[in-house]
Amino acid sequence: MALADRAPVLWIGSAVACSGLGMAVHTVREFGSPGVFAWETGLAPVVFAQVAIFVLWWHGRSARPTLSIVLAATGLFLLVGGAILSVLPLPFLPFAPAQTVDHYLTHVILGITQIPIVVIPLKLRRLDGLVNHSKGREPTQG
C-alpha cells in the first residue's frame, strides 16, 4: 500500500479512535469503570458500529463515499445527542442530567472528540471527488 493510499486510512482511523476515546472518557467519568462494559451506556455498541463501518470503508473503495457520510453521521449523532442535548434538563429525556461544572466539562470533552469524525470523512470524500474529477473519471456514486 502506497503512502498516498495509507494517509486516508490513518486519518479516518485516527478520527474513529478519537471518537471512541471521547466516549470512553465520558462513560468512565459519568458511570465509572464498570460503565465501559455496560451496553446501556452506549459506549460498546457505538464504538463497535464505528469500527465496523471503518473496516468496511477501508476495504471497500467503491463504498467509501457513502460510508464516509455514515461515519460523519455517527459523530454528528454523538455530538448533538450525546454532548449537547443529553446535558440539558429537557422534559423528554428519561433521566435528569446533573447540572454541575464537572458534568458540563465531561460533555465538552465528548463533543470536542467527535469533531474529527464529523469533519475528516467529509473532507476526504470531497478530496477524493476532486481527484477523480481531475483524472477525468466519474466520481463514485454514494
Q: CA-CA-CA-CA torsion for 56, 77, 110, 44, nearest 10 degrees?
A: -50
pLDDT exceeds 80 at position 129: no
Predicted pLDDT at 6: 80
Predicted pLDDT at 68: 95
d(CA 36, CA 110): 15
Give the three cell numbers for residue 38.
455496560
pLDDT exceeds 80 at position 5: no
Q: Say what the pTM is.
A: 0.85
Q: Cβ–Cβ contacts within 10 Å for residue 41, how many? A: 19
On average, the pLDDT of the chain sits at: 89
pLDDT exceeds 90 at position 18: yes
Q: pLDDT tens-digit profile of 52-105?
A: 999 999 998 889 999 999 999 999 999 999 999 988 888 988 888 888 999 999
d(CA 131, CA 138): 10
Element of type H or E holding 4: helix 3-31
Report CA Rg, the chain: 17
Contact predicate 132/51, CB 8 Å: no
Domain map (residue ranges) of the chain: 8-133
* Alpha carbon of residue 91 to chain centroid: 27
Give the three cell numbers for residue 95.
433521566
Predicted pLDDT at 131: 60
Q: Which is nearest to 132 in space by CA: 61, 69, 70, 68?
A: 61
